[in-house]
Copies of this chain bind each other. A is one copy, B any other.
């Protein structure tokens, strides 16, 4: 009779914490724990669950990509984003990709349970800091006034990852068999899309998503 949750998070300890928080709840239980986005998609093919708790920072295929895949392949699946990060990029991206809410890991047990129940009931739960991020809006609203989500192409992600790995444009160009000018173009586009003004901003973006 219990509502079944899937925890998608690289750490067993996090799953254990959630299990512990749910131990005395009669209506909720952790049915599965997966450690990556790939595992999650594979599991959903075989098993159903009422709610997925999805960490945004996952190795390789990050939470945003995973969210997109889940939303595409399992349109009705309820997903609550669950992360330590509350920056606008992640919150907005997850919501746009179909997450039903965004819960920060700093939350207490009470907030956690409320968020899970609200989401299961079909509502939208946002932690205060996530809500704040959404209200602030993208910091680069000037450059993108319609507020539309600006995604990165796979090539751009490839480039930004290598930038975060301390490689120069020349090295990236050599590794990808393209000209240095092309790499520069990609960096230019990346900086515009992400509204950062230096290498530091690109590195931060990539590292927050664990791409490097």
CA of A167 to CA of B199 in the docked complex: distance in angstroms?
10
- Which residues on the B side are within 8 Å of A168 (C-beta)? 198
In the complex, whether A13 has a CB less than 8 A from a CB of chain B is: yes
- Which residues on the B side are within 8 Å of A207 (C-beta)? 203-204, 207-208
Give the residues from 1 to 40 in chain A that come closer than 8 angstroms, CB to CB, to chain B. Answer: 10-21, 23
CA of A20 to CA of B17 in the docked complex: distance in angstroms?
7
Partner of A200, one of B18, B105, B108, B165: B165
- A14 to chain B: closest CB distance in Å? 6
Give the residues from 161 to 212 in chain A that come closer than 8 angstroms, CB to CB, to chain B. Answer: 163-168, 196-204, 207-208, 212
In the complex, whether A84 has a CB less than 8 A from a CB of chain B is: yes
